[in-house]
């Protein structure tokens, strides 16, 4: 597929998705939204893709929303693609798809993803540039990175489901401080606050991301990784440990009968590398998915 706002490259089982509007510091627009959702759909269906790395083209990761529409950038009444959300008499249909936040559509698709996602943040990441990274599993920062949850400084509120993700990652107090102030801060504060795993020189960033991806790919069952990803993210909002026990139990029971589990034990006993052959597309257990799909309403 020809993408307008991203690059899609698979090499040695690692998909690298590069935000590719460098002349705009990779500012987020409708093309990028559609491209990212399609890319994750495509990756989930491709068993050759076992891990995903996100990065940016040029000197930035993503400068946030494209502001080329000026003061009406966030005025949905002025946008053709949001027609129908507001009736002729000015009443808003809050359940209409035209009300939905584009960044949220992207992070919800990341949340559903069956492959581990690593962020290699190579430069400034503000607004949706950082909130989209919250739905990624492991976040690395270049020493050139900058972060900013700048919404309140633009008269807005957090988007891309960040009010759910951010407190779970850094805690409610730190999340509120960053959201209230809207300040832009460097990678050191991001590291100290738990937002990123580690800081790297620019030329070491992608190699480190690939090293982490290879550690996963070379040692772990893709089906087990896919199930584990969904288990941990979804249990972040569970009401009781029993919710986790139910899914853990189903997972151990189902996976224990599959070739991957037998190979995992045999390879350990024989002191050799495992060769996992179960497929994410063909061998997810029958109880998956165990949740009812959430609808926008």
Q: What is the pLDDT of residue 72?
A: 66
Residues 280, 165 within the same domain: no
Closest CA to 212 of 225, 195, 224, 223: 225
Q: Do 65 and 133 share a structural domain? A: yes
Domain of residue 45, CATH code: 3.90.226.10
Distance CA 186, CA 172 (A): 20
Q: Among 168, 201, 216, which residue terminates a domain?
A: 216
How far is Cα 19 from Cα 54, in angstroms, rounded to an integer?
Answer: 8
**Quick check: is 125 in a domain?**
yes
Whether residue 195 sits in one domain with residue 105: yes
Asked whether residue 237 falls in the same domain as residue 258, the answer is yes
Report the pLDDT value the prediction gives residue 88, as an integer from 0 to 100: 79
- Residue of 189, 198, 193 whose CA lies nearest to 142: 198
Task: List, as one string, the DSSP characters of 144-190.
Answer: T-EEE--GGGGT----TTHHHHHHHHH-HHHHHHHHHH--EE-HHHH
Same domain, 173 and 226: no
Domain stop point among 216, 245, 274: 216
Considering the domain architecture, whether residues 124 and 205 belong to the same structural domain is answered as yes
**Do 185 and 60 share a domain, yes or no?**
yes
Per-residue pLDDT of the chain (297 residues; tens, 9 = 90+): 899 999 999 999 999 999 999 999 999 999 999 999 999 999 999 999 999 999 999 999 999 998 776 666 666 666 666 677 888 788 888 988 888 999 999 999 999 999 999 999 999 999 999 999 999 999 999 999 999 999 999 999 999 999 999 999 999 999 999 999 999 999 999 999 999 999 999 999 999 999 999 999 999 999 999 999 999 999 999 999 999 999 999 999 999 999 999 999 999 999 999 999 999 999 999 999 999 999 998
| The pLDDT of residue 71 | 65
In a domain, 49, yes or no: yes
Backbone region of residue 66 per phi and psi (left: phi > 0; alpha: psi in -120 to 50; beta: other values): beta
Q: Is residue 1 one of the residues assigned to a domain?
A: no
Cα–Cα distance for residue pair 64/44, rounded to 1 Å: 26
Neighbouring C-beta atoms of residue 83, cutoff 10 Å: 11
Tokens for 261, please give them.
Answer: 């589990």
Pair (69, 210) in one structural domain: yes
Tell me, yes or no, whether 103 lies in a domain.
yes
Same domain, 172 and 248: no
Q: Among the three residues 216, 246, 263, which one is the final residue of a domain in this structure?
A: 216
Phi, psi of 152 (to 5 degrees): -60, -30
Q: Are residues 260 and 202 in the same domain?
A: no
Angle formed by the axes of helices 172-181 and 162-170, to 10°? 130
Pair 232, 172 in one domain: no
**Gap between the Cα atoms of 195 and 210, Å rounded:** 20
Q: Measured between alpha carbons, how far is 198 from 208 in angstroms, rounded to an integer?
A: 10
Strand order in the sheet with 146-148: 124-126, 146-148, 184-185
CATH number where 279 lies: 1.10.12.10
Q: What is the pLDDT of residue 178?
A: 98
pLDDT of residue 224: 98
Domains of the chain: total: 2
| Residue 258, domain extent | 220-297
- Is residue 93 located within the same domain as residue 172? yes
């Amino acid at each position: 597929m020809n993408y307008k706002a991203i690059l899609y490259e698979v090499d040695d089982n690692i998909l690298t998705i590069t935000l590719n509007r460098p002349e705009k510091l990779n500012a987020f627009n409708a093309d990028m939204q559609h491209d990212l959702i399609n890319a994750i759909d495509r990756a989930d269906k491709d068993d050759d893709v076992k891990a995903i790395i996100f990065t940016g083209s040029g000197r930035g990761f993503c400068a946030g929303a494209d502001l080329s529409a000026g003061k009406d950038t966030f005025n949905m009444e002025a946008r053709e693609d949001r027609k129908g959300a507001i009736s002729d008499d000015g009443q808003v249909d809050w359940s209409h798809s035209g009300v939905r936040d584009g960044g949220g559509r992207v992070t919800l698709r990341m949340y559903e993803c069956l492959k581990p996602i690593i962020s290699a943040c190579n430069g400034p990441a503000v607004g949706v540039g950082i909130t989209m990274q919250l739905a990624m599993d492991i976040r690395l920062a270049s020493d050139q990175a900058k972060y900013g949850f700048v919404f309140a400084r633009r008269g807005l509120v957090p988007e891309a489901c960040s009010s759910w993700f951010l407190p779970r990652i850094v805690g409610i107090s730190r999340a509120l401080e960053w959201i209230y102030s809207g300040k832009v801060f460097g990678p050191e504060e991001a590291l100290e606050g738990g937002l990123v795993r580690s800081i790297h020189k620019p030329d070491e960033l992608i190699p480190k991301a690939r090293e982490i991806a290879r550690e996963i790919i070379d040692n772990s069952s893709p089906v087990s990784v896919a199930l584990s990803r969904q288990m941990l993210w979804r249990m972040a909002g569970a009401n009781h440990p029993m919710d986790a026990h139910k899914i853990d139990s189903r997972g151990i029971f189902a996976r224990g009968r599959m070739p991957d589990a037998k190979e995992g034990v045999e390879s350990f006993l024989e002191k050799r590398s495992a060769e996992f052959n179960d497929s994410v597309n063909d061998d997810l257990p029958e109880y998956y998915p165990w949740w009812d799909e959430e609808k926008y309403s």
